[in-house]
Amino acid sequence: MSRALVVGGNGFIGAHLVAELVAAGWDVTVLHKYEQPRYATMPAAVRFLRGDLTQESLLAEAVAGQDVVFHLLWTTTAIHEVANRDPAADVLANLVPTIHLLEACLRAGVGRVVFTSSGGTVYGRTQIAPIPENHPNNPVNAYGVSKLAVEKYLQMFHHLQGLDYVVFRPSVPYGPYQNPLARQGAVAVFLYRVAKGLPLTIWGDGHISRDYFYISDLVDALILGGERPLSTNRIFNLGGAEEVSLNHLIRLVQETVGRQADVEYQPARDFDAPRVLLDTTQAQNELGWQPKVLMKDGLAKTWQWMQETIL
């Protein structure tokens, strides 16, 4: 039986990953400051450690004996503006604790670290699409800079001390358990606000586009990243097969909910990449991964969950 630590295991992505790992027979430990996921229930078989990466003794206990450590925790994921307003605080809250985690993994002899970076921010403003992994990295917000810094530390620890790792750069995952009251996460937020008759705020003209992909596709990739032998490539883009603008997403949400949206357009923000369409060929060739859930089907699944759970 493989052993896994999921750091941030009670978050949106983590709750799905933990459930799938348990179902596949993994021995799972969750390290998180919240005792339960927001909209799900932690499987009974999971060992839970309450805390964060700043607690040295707890961190040592968490990583001991682990085959794979999945690092999903990031304090500024929900609102990227927070990192921009105080980059130093972002470094202290996210980058420094992550370095402590990597050092603890080295001391404990962890088999592999799987890190979720950000395909939507580490590349910055790009001129080509789809974007390959070897595209220059020029992030334009503090969130992307910190994520990229973790990638570089992983590469350094691998080169100097042999730490095995995988970096995933996901585009925009969505699905059940995503908080519809957050500032980020357009699919869940749009579904909820349209259903409630609340206005949608669009920054710019709505032509910003992303290759959204369903949460189960992301979880599939994470587990493959924990299991598969790797070549020299350890960084993989993940995204959907469809590029969807915000205006088109609004139309899809209206069709799914059966109600018109009240849309308010505001001036564009300079830290938003205008287009994110990732080339996932490398993940397909080396991990055997590809997105399976079409956007319309993922929206329907998310809408059904929201009706049953929140509305």
**C-beta of residue 283 within 8 angstroms of C-beta of residue 237:** yes
Question: Where are the alpha helices (H) located in the chain, listed in sequence order?
Answer: 12-23, 56-63, 80-85, 87-90, 96-108, 142-161, 186-196, 215-227, 246-257, 281-287, 295-309
Give, for all 311 residues of the chain, the pLDDT tens digit: 799 999 999 999 999 999 999 999 999 999 999 989 989 999 999 999 999 999 999 999 999 999 999 999 998 655 566 778 889 988 999 999 999 999 999 999 999 999 999 998 999 988 889 999 999 999 989 999 999 999 999 999 999 999 999 999 999 999 999 999 887 889 999 999 999 999 999 999 999 999 999 999 999 999 999 999 998 999 999 999 889 999 999 999 999 999 999 999 999 888 787 889 999 999 999 999 999 999 999 999 999 999 999 98
Q: Which residues contact 245 (CB under 8 A, 6 or more apart)?
A: 206, 207, 208, 209
Cβ density class 146-180: b for 16+ within 10 Å, e for less: bbbbbbebbeebeeeeebbbbbbbbbbbbbbbbbb
- Residue 248: the pLDDT is 96
* Confidence (pLDDT) at 80: 61
**DSSP letter (8 states) at residue 299:** H
Fold classification of 3-176+213-241+278-292 is: Rossmann fold (3.40.50)
CA gap 32, 30 in Å, rounded = 6
Whole-prediction pTM: 0.95
Q: For the chain, which residues make up each domain, given as ranges?
A: 3-176+213-241+278-292
Interatomic CA distance for residues 85 and 221, integer angstroms = 32
Active-site amino acid positions = 143
Q: What is the pLDDT of residue 183?
A: 77
